[in-house]
Amino acid sequence: MASNISALCLSFIFFFSLLSIFPSSITSLTFSLSRFHTNPSQDSYQNLNSLVSSSLTRALHIKNPQTKTTTTTTTTTNISSHSYGGYSISLSFGTPPQIIPFILDTGSHLVWFPCTNHYQCKYCSSSKIPSFIPKLSSSSRLLGCQNPKCSWIHHESIQCRDCNDEPLATSKNCTQICPSYLVLYGSGLTEGIALSETLNLPNRIIPNFLVGCSVLSSRQPAGIAGFGRGKTSLPSQLNLDKFSYCLLSHKFDDTTRTSSLILDNGSSHSDKKTTGLTYTPFVNNPSVAERNAFSVYYYVGLRRITVGGQRVRVWYKYLTLDRDGNGGTIVDSGTTFTFMVPELFEPLADEFVSQMVKNRNYTRALGAEALTGLRPCFDVPGEKVASFPELKLHFMGGAEVTLPVENYFAVVGEGSAVCLTVVTDREASGGPSIILGNFQMQNYYVEYDLRNQRLGFKQQLCK
C-alpha cells in the first residue's frame, strides 16, 4: 500500500492543473442499481479468489480505517450490478448536468467522482472511466479553506495559513482552497480536492453539494457515493429520513438488469414501519476520539447464529461493542463476502462441516478451497438436488433472517463443488467482528431508517 501512495504522490503535479480549469469569476427519489464488474474472469475459481481477496482487504481497512482526509421528497434511481462484486448508481452533477456512475457504499461517507481530463487510475483494468469535467460546469467552485464544510472532510481544525486570523465573515480576501484529501479503501485509494457543485436529482436540485474531485486513484473502477453516517455522505447532505435498496442476485458479470435505490426525505408517515419489513435497531458505537472513522458505520445487534437449527457456540463478547469501540456487527454494501473474525468464523465453519460431512455424507472439496480461498467447500458431483443446513441470523429486537442457500453458498467450477461465502483473516485485529457483505443481502429489500435509527429488511426478488 505504501508503494502505491508514493507512486500516486509523485504524480501529484496534476493537481496544479485544477487551479486553471475553474472560472475565475417532502417526496421520494428512486434510482436504478446495477452490479459493477471489471475484468470479468471466465474462470469461476479465479473470480471467486479475487472476490475473497477484495473482501478481506476491505475488511482490514474497515477494521483499521485510515483517512487523510422540510419538504417531502422521495427519489428513485437504478442500481446496477458489476463483475467485481459491487453495485453502482448514476448521479447527475453540474450545470449543464454530467452523468457519472458511482459505487454504492454504506461503509464510507465521502462522495467523489473521477475528475478532469487528467484523471489517472493506477491498477485499473478499464481505461474508459467516465470523468467529471469541472470547466464544463458553470456551477463548479473550489471549496475554500475557511468554508465550514472543509472540516467535514478532514475532521480536525484546518489551519488556513494564507488567510487572516479574523472570523470567516470578515476574511473576505482569503483565497486559499480546502486542503487536498487522501482516502484509503483497503485495496485502493483516491486523492483530490473538494468542490461545491450542483447535484441534479430527478425532481430536486441541490446546490452547493460537497463532492470530491479526484485526479488520482488506485484500484477504483468508478467514483464512490458514500452512504455512511458522516457529514459528507449523500444521506447526510440531503438530510434523508431513510433510504432503501434491493440488490440483484450476484452473477459476477455485467448486466443491463437493474433494481432500485429509494431516497426518502420527510415522508408523511416516517415514524411508521414499512409494511412487511422486520426491524432491528441500529447500535451506537462508543465515542472514541482516536477512532472517529468507526462512527461512519451502521452497527446492528447480531445476538446469535444458528446452522441447521443448532446454535453456533461463540464468545458473546465478539458480538458486542467494547469500551474501545471494537467488536459488533456492521452492514456494508461495499463488501462482497461477509467477514468474521476467526473466533466467530471457525465455530461457524466447524458446524457446517459437522452437519455436511457427518450428517449428510458430503466430502470436503479441498481443491476448490485452495483455488478459491473460500472454506469450507464440499463436493456435490452430479447432485441435481443438494441438501444444505439452514443459516439463520438472530438480531436484537427479535428480528430473524433465514438466508436462502444462494446467499451463503456459491457454486464453483462446473458445478461440482459449493463453498461457504464467508471469509476470515487472523491479521485483522480491532474494529467490527462481523461485516455483513452484499452477497448475503442479495434479493433482500433493505431499509436504513435514519430518523428512527433502525434497519428493516425482507426477502424479495429484486428487479
Q: Given this structure, which CATH class describes domain 278-459?
A: mainly beta
Is there a catalytic annotation at residue 332?
yes
- Which CATH superfamily groups domain 2-62+70-159+174-265? Acid Proteases (2.40.70.10)
Bigger pLDDT: 292 vs 451: 451
| Confidence band of 443 (pLDDT split at 50, 70, 90) | very high
Residues forming beta bridges with residue 103, ordered by sequence position: 88, 224
pLDDT at 186 over 60: yes
Q: Which pLDDT does position 217 carry in this prediction?
A: 94
d(C-alpha 93, C-alpha 56), whole Å = 33
Active-site annotation holder among 43, 105, 241, 350: 105
Q: What is the pLDDT of residues 267-307, one digit of tens each?
A: 656 678 999 999 999 999 876 666 777 889 999 999 999 99
- Residue 369 has φ and ψ, to the nearest 5°, of -65, -40
Burial class (CB in 10 A: 0-12, 13-18, 19+), 201: middle
Asked if the domains at 2-62+70-159+174-265 and 278-459 fall in one CATH topology, the answer is yes
Burial class of residue 264 (count of CB atoms within 10 Å of its CB; 0-12, 13-18, 19+): buried
Query: Domain residues of the chain, as ranges?
Result: 2-62+70-159+174-265, 278-459
Per-residue pLDDT band at 9 (split at 50, 70, 90)? very low
Give catalytic status of residue 449 as yes or no: no
pTM, 2 dp:
0.87
User: In what side-by-side order are the strands of the sheet with 400-403?
Assistant: 310-311, 302-307, 391-395, 400-403
Q: Which of 253, 332, 425, 449 is catalytic?
A: 332
